[in-house]
Amino acid sequence: MKYGRVDVSGPEQCPDEGRLPDAGPSSPADHLRDVFYRMGLDDKEIVALSGAHTLGRARPERSGWGKPETKYTKDAPGAPGGQSWTVQWLKFDNSYFKDIMERKDEDLLVLPTDAVLLEDPSFKIYATKYTMDQDAFFKDYAEAHAKLSNLGAKFDPPEGISIEYDSKTVAAEPFVAAKYSYGERKKELSDAMKQKIRAEYEALGGSPDTPLKSNYFLNIMILIAGLAFLTSLVMN
Ligand code: HEM
């Protein structure tokens, strides 16, 4: 991936709404080509990118597609419901291609634009390959996703920032959420974060030289609780 994308400053710098592909056009293969070819993507990339549907769900109240819930989504973490394309829809693998090929589980979604990947002769070459070769899918998906992500993006510096990464010699650092919330990382707060914390502290009346003002209400509540506790001890 190329890093250093510059955010736009407002919606006027974004493409118009309504340019996403339609899931149920009259001619799905022509429609997919209309949408993706104009961005310089080819049949292989259309099929590989469609494999992103190995993750996630469609919800009738959003897109109009999918069931309100299925056996795979009714107990979902977060917001249950919707219809997924795959059984393990939080795991990225090639099961999307296997499932749209088999189409034997009515709880799994197959949009017209998914089904066409195994009907159109050119799309079918890649979709069939990905059902059998997950590594080929991962490789083609990664390349197509990077290409799609970089389309029309501005970078600072203009050529972007590339991080050389050799997966054979450098083991990827596993993500450990706790590292980012307490412990050693605390010592590594950025200057911006330190300023933010300082501003919040000062807004509450604190400063580097003056401790926070005492909270009288809290002190009185603690005193009352202490007296109640002592009274109950004496009464017993
Ligand atoms: C090929 C044409 C495509 C069509 C017609 C299409 C259509 C759709 C539809 C109808 C939904 C359901 C939205 C909802 O109800 O919330 C959806 C979800 C999704 N799409 Fe696509 N999509 C296409 C391509 C892509 C591509 C290229 C990607 C990414 C590279 C992608 C990633 C996703 C993901 C991850 C979800 C699930 C979102 C969620 O769980 O909230 N799709 N897509």
**Which residue puts its alpha carbon closest to atom 28 of ligand 1?**
52
Residue 108 backbone dihedrals phi, psi, to 5 degrees: -105, 140
> What is the chain's mean pLDDT, rounded?
88
Residue 103 backbone dihedrals phi, psi, to 5 degrees: 45, 50
CA distance 36 to 31: 9
DSSP collapsed to 3 states, 114-173: HHHHHCCHHHHHHHHHHHHCHHHHHHHHHHHHHHHHHCCCCECCCCCEECCCCCCCCCCC
The answer, yes or no, to whether residue 178 has pLDDT greater than 70, is no
**Which residue puts its alpha carbon closest to atom 20 of ligand 1?**
53
> Domain residue spans in the chain?
2-162, 190-235
Q: Which of 55-59, 149-153, 190-194 has the highest mean pLDDT?
A: 55-59
Residues with CB under 6 A from ligand 1: 21, 23, 32, 49-50, 52-53, 55-59, 62-63, 65-66, 111, 113, 145
Q: What is the pLDDT of residue 179?
A: 56
Q: What is the pTM of this model?
A: 0.74
Give distance in angstroms: CA of 13 to centre of ligand 1: 23
Q: Who wins on pLDDT, 2 or 26?
A: 26
**Each residue's pLDDT tens digit, 115-171:** 999 999 999 999 999 999 999 999 999 999 999 999 988 999 988 888 876 666 666
Average pLDDT over residues 184-188: 52
The neighbouring-strand residues paired with 58 are 83
The neighbouring-strand residues paired with 3 are 161
**Each residue's pLDDT tens digit, 201-210:** 777 777 766 6
Give distance in angstroms: CA of 53 to centre of ligand 1: 6
Q: What percent of the chain has pLDDT over 70?
A: 86
- Residue appearing with tokens 């999307």: 96
Domain 2-162 fold is Peroxidase; domain 2 (1.10.420)
The answer, yes or no, to whether residue 183 has pLDDT greater than 50, is no
Average pLDDT over residues 79-90: 96
